[in-house]
Amino acid sequence: MTVNVSSIGLKGLEGYRVQVEVQVSKGTESMVIVGLPDASVKESKERVLSAIRTLDCDVTDQKIVVNLSPSEQKKNGPLFDLAMAVAVLKERKQFVEEIRKETAFIGALSLDGSVVKVEGMLPALIAAKALGFKRVFLPYDPLIPIEMLEGIECIVVQHINDVLQYVRGQISLPLPIQSVSVEESISPVEFQKDFSDIIGQEQAKLALEVAAAGGHNVLMSGPPGCGKSLLAETFSSIFPPLTKQAQLEKISLYQLAQEKLESPKTVPYRHPHHSASSVAIIGGGQNPKPGEISLAHHGILFLDEMAEFTKKTLDMLRQPLETGKVTISRAHSTVTYPASFLLIGAMNPCPCGYLGSNTHYCSCTPKQVQSYRNRVSGPIFDRIDILLSLHPVNLEQPQGMRESSADIRNRVEQARDVQYARYQAEITNAKVPFEQLMKTSPLTSNQQKMMTQVSSKKQWSNRVQIKMIRLARTLSDLAGEASISDESIWKAMTLRRNHISKEHTKARGN
């Protein structure tokens, strides 16, 4: 007789159903696991055998064969321990009650039969819900927000005997273990910086408001000390809080990467050093894990001194910037992680940093300037929506009333609500398919003619022209206009104006 019990396997952040089939027959006492198990799965036999012995389950002179289906999919991790033990106990008649098909078991086992948490349980729970499971047995983990998982019953167990009592009907409700929500277990983080503290740079603040409202990428260029890093560090304070689904994805990615999570509601803000390797940025390793771009999912990836990153690493950002995900291929597996982030870069205009400055002399030759700029390739520039050229602020000039981040965030939230209602999904103007954008916000014939003329003069690629339309749509949303206006198109072109190229031309003239 063969017993089938369901569990969940993980391939990156994506989960799939694993059917645990167990057959026990007379023979030399042994336990064999088949179905492409890795070393951590093969070691499960010792944990499972020791755990079931604590329940007086006799497997003397018995050969146990465990098949993990689908057989062609490589299995990794100790997530299947509990499912294997339950299947063996069922086959050995330790309980006769039926296990429903919509029930899954995840968790590792200790030698004394305790059920312990393992890496990747939250992604497994989310996958179980998507696969149609109604009930999941799992170990206790205070960092799993069970209260946020609607539509699936999570039964927390501490020992394998708790599972037997539950299926026998001896425990009619989930075990009374106090679940600590993510909000309680992680201290909330208040924004340390506010836009009201930034003096000047009004054009940059407006551009960042547009970027936050529509999810547009930004590149800032300017001499040292003009405020590039300060603006980027304050940028996250004008983003609306993450939705429930986005919070679950953020928590899952941080758990898979074994990174400390500060606050689940705030958008992630990642700022890797320019010496970071391509694997650290993109993700990977022998056992692929999420990189910085995946940890910035639904948030911000800030690349300070962008031109100092290796050209190879920057060019690896092309696919994620277009598709919102990254695929990592290794000899034994291929995994895909989400990576829908807003890129904000900062760089000096030249190697010495003072090209175009009125207070310092630039000692760089035109060739050095061009070589420095070429570190960021043309395809990456094409994927940037807003190009900003910043200059130092004169602190002696009188400053007017400065808006707070909360005021700007309110406008960003309103603009995003308009976009969500227009597209019937939580998607921004920068990410929505272009066909859908044009269907909901078509350009007039005069606007198309104007775009064609300016693009021909500026030598903008088709991708840049599309980004201009997306920017114009966001500017119109902030202005409360139902359709794309001529004024918003001109403003979008102003935000895209490539000041860096102009400074290069000026340098060549010198």
- Residue 260 CB coordination number (10 Å): 7
Predicted pLDDT of residue 430: 94
Residue 80: φ, ψ to 5°: -95, 0
User: What is residue 27's predicted lDDT score, i.e. its pLDDT?
Assistant: 85
Instruction: State the residue for tokens 């094409």.
Output: 382
In a domain, 416, yes or no: yes
Residues 261 and 161 in one domain: no
Calpha distance 357→361 (Å, rounded): 7
Amino acid at 354: Y
Note whether 287 and 357 are same-domain residues. yes
Task: Tell me the C-alpha distance between 443 and 465, whole Å.
Answer: 13
| 65's tokens | 């064969």
What is the spatial distance between Cα 28 and Cα 406, in angstroms, rounded to a whole number? 70
In this structure, are 266 and 389 located in the same domain? yes
In 339-436, beta strands by DSSP E: 342-347, 386-389
The per-residue pLDDT for 61 is 84
The helix (H) or strand (E) run that includes residue 445 is helix 445-458
- Buried b or exposed e, range 180-202, using 16+ CB within 10 angstroms: bebeeebeeeebeebbbebebbe
User: Looking at the structure, do residues 207 and 170 belong to the same domain, yes or no?
Assistant: no
In this predicted structure, what is the pLDDT of residue 503?
Answer: 43
For β-strands 342-347 and 300-303, DSSP reports them as: parallel
Can you give the pTM of this predicted structure? 0.86
Q: Is 32 helix (H, G, I), strand (E, B) or coil?
A: strand
Name the nearest CA neighbour of 403 among 233, 204, 232, 214: 204
Choose among 390, 307, 311, 415: nearest CA to 351: 307
Please tell me the chain's helix, strand, coil percentages from 3-state DSSP, rounded to the nearest 5.
Answer: 40, 20, 40
The residue segments making up the domain with residue 106 are 2-184
- Which segments in the chain show pLDDT lower than 70? 171-190, 331, 396-401, 497-510
- Per-residue pLDDT at 171: 67
pLDDT value at position 51? 94
Instruction: Indicate the residue type of 469.
Output: I
Q: How many CB atoms lie within 10 A of CB 340?
A: 22
Same domain, 234 and 174: no
Question: Hey, what are 66's tokens?
Answer: 């465990």
Whether 233 and 127 share a structural domain: no
Q: Which of 152, 184, 216 is the last residue of a domain?
A: 184
Q: Which of the listed residues 158, 184, 210 is the one where a domain comes to its end?
A: 184
Q: Which two tokens stand for residue 118?
A: 């393992």
- Maximum Cα interatomic distance, the chain, rounded to a whole number of Å: 90
Query: Which of 184, 205, 238 represents a domain boundary (last residue)?
Result: 184
- Alpha-carbon Rg of the chain, whole angstroms? 28
Examine residue 510 and state whether it is found in any structural domain, yes or no: no
- Are 441 and 296 part of one and the same domain? yes
Q: Note whether 202 and 174 are same-domain residues.
A: no
113 in the Ramachandran plot: left (φ > 0), alpha (ψ -120 to 50) or beta?
left
Question: By CB neighbour count within 10 A (0-12 exposed, 13-18 middle, 19+ buried), where does 398 fall?
Answer: exposed
Nearest one of 243, 264, 240, 269 to 252, comparing CA atoms: 264
29 and 131 housed in the same domain: yes
Q: How far is CA 235 from CA 271, 287, 296, in A?
A: 12, 33, 14
* pLDDT for the residue numbered 396: 65
3-state secondary structure at position 184:
helix
Q: Is the domain of 207 the same as that of 284?
A: yes
Same domain, yes or no: 136 and 224 = no
Q: How many CA atoms lie less than 13 Å away from 471 in the CB half-sphere?
A: 31
Pick from 428, 57, 386: which is nearest to 221 by CA?
A: 386
The pLDDT of residue 218:
96
Residue 438: closest CA among 486, 477, 470: 470
pLDDT of res. 467: 93
Structural domain tally of the chain?
2
370 is a domain residue? yes
Q: What is the CATH number of the domain that holds 200?
A: 3.40.50.300
pLDDT number for residue 190: 64
pLDDT at residue 507, rounded to an integer:
42
Q: How many other C-beta atoms lie within 10 A of the C-beta of residue 450?
A: 16
Q: Is residue 28 part of a domain?
A: yes
Task: Taking each helix axis as running N to C, give the angle between helix 462-478 and helix 202-214, from 0 to 180 degrees, rounded to the nearest 10.
Answer: 100
Query: Same domain for 177 and 199?
Result: no
Q: Are 401 and 196 in contact (CB under 8 A)?
A: no
